[in-house]
Amino acid sequence: MKYTNLGNSKLNVSKICMGCMGFGDPENGMHTWTLPEKESIEIITNGLDNGINFFDTAIGYQNGTSEQYLGKAIRENANREDIVVATKFLPRSEEDIKNNVSGQQHIHNMVEKSLSNLGLDYIDLYIYHMWDYNTPLFDILEGLNEIIEEGKVRYIGISNCFAWQLAKANALAESNDFSKFVSIQGHYNLIFREEEREMIPLCQADNIATTPYSSLASGRLSRMPGEDSKRMNEDFYAKLKYQSTETQDLEIIKRVNELALNYDVSMTEVSLAWLLGKVTSPIVGATKLHHVEGAVNSIELNLTDKDIQYLEEPYVAHDLVGVMADNKVSATDNEKVWAKHTKDKI
């Protein structure tokens, strides 16, 4: 494993971050393809054995059971100080707003619940999961600064936002002597490269770490079409993100497969090797042991400039999809896929 500094923080993280959305009670949340406790802990432990020290989860993943499984695996199999734990909090719900729960109090409530789920004393990287259009930005930043001062969180990151929002947030934080966001977790992979327009240049200029999710496009960049998996069949949200561009994306997927055959490696290794040349630490989900192996092996694959150009050449602009498309100012909780599956459970 190789390690790197996480942006402007003092966190030393593995070049592969294990994504934990695939862990959690499959009967308690928006996903039916997640792994129960025993299997989840087995894969997390395998990641630890392979040098992965960076793990990303969220309070919204299977209603907190992903956090619970990750915390248990760390407590039983690692030294806490050697591990970088990232988790994410959700925006205020309509019920929170109705009950006059302030942005600051909401963050205190969320972090306490995540710490309880994890069974840990602190969180290394606490991530603003998606922009909260119904809460003043100052309140969010002040609440985050408070939990850092209390020692419950070391650093803060942000996910699913536009470059202007990240720039605005960090400018407001600086002007009020609050902690700034040290990382961005956006949707970025070989078949979805819209982050390159504004977000990646901003992060390079300000030394903000990039830890993209959907690194393998929910498995589409790790296998040729027609090779099924449980997630491929049951992850309705991933289908919504990628089904409209299948024709355009297929040419890139074919080229990934071609290079994989040429190098005698997996498609996973080629796809992640490309991404590793662009970002700090990609988030890679794993629901089978060979998923961990492919992610770890990708660090040793060095693509040539010609390879990179060949992979990138067919790309065409994509519309925003997923959370970035769904998280609108006017959206109600019943219209937000993450809110519908977590209501009254967190």
| pLDDT computed for residue 325 by the predictor | 86
pLDDT tens per residue, range 150-201: 999 999 999 999 999 999 999 999 999 999 999 999 999 999 999 999 999 9
pLDDT tens per residue, range 316-328: 999 998 888 888 7
Catalytic residue among 61, 155, 188, 213: 61
| pLDDT computed for residue 115 by the predictor | 98
| pLDDT computed for residue 226 by the predictor | 75
Task: Determine how β-strand 3-5 pairs with β-strand 12-14.
Answer: antiparallel
| pLDDT computed for residue 233 by the predictor | 64
| pLDDT computed for residue 234 by the predictor | 62
| pLDDT computed for residue 304 by the predictor | 98
| pLDDT computed for residue 229 by the predictor | 66
Task: Determine how β-strand 54-56 pairs with β-strand 84-89.
Answer: parallel
Residues lower than pLDDT 50 in the chain: 343-344
| pLDDT computed for residue 243 by the predictor | 82
Cα–Cα separations (whole angstroms), residue 307 to 39, 258, 259, 303 = 36, 10, 8, 6
pTM greater than 0.95 (yes/no): no
Mark 54-63 as b/e (b = at least 16 C-beta within 10 Å): bbbbbbbbbb
Residue 149 in 3-state DSSP?
Answer: helix
Q: Is 155 a catalytic residue?
A: no
The CA distance from 266 to 181, in Å, is 34
| pLDDT computed for residue 346 by the predictor | 53
| pLDDT computed for residue 240 by the predictor | 72
